[in-house]
Amino acid sequence: MLLFILTHSTIHLARLNEICRVLKDARFRLNPKKCEIARTQTDYLGRHIQNGEIHPSPHNIHGLLNTKLPQTAAEACKFVKAAEYYRKCIPNFSHIAEPLRNFVPTTRTQQ
């Protein structure tokens, strides 16, 4: 669960208290070791959130950038699928990925 508010801290605390109350009423337990409270930045689902902006996580991008050039259709497909997760962060992603997609054979449902 992620609660991210760009407004005044009292509003953030009120929302946090409300969420804690709902979770308590539902007898839902949180693991304190996994909780981050009052942070100005965080990594969440492969994305880095800071100052109201969302960017790909540097750790995940490092993995994509250091991937070997695909040699087979299966490798190209795997790379394109991994990169598609960040398509909103990559301008003209469809145009850039088109050569790799052309290398990947279509499935029967796509024919």
| pLDDT tens-digit readout, 61-104 | 888 888 888 888 788 888 888 888 888 888 888 888 888 777 77
The pLDDT-based confidence of 111 (bands split at 50, 70, 90) is: very low
- Where in the chain are the domains? 57-111
> What pTM value is reported for the model?
0.57
In sequence order, which residues have a C-beta less than 8 Å from that of residue 4 and are 6 or more positions away?
49
| pLDDT tens-digit readout, 23-72 | 999 999 989 898 888 788 888 888 888 887 888 888 888 888 888 888 88
The span from the CA of 60 to the CA of 45, in Å, is 10
The span from the CA of 96 to the CA of 1, in Å, is 33
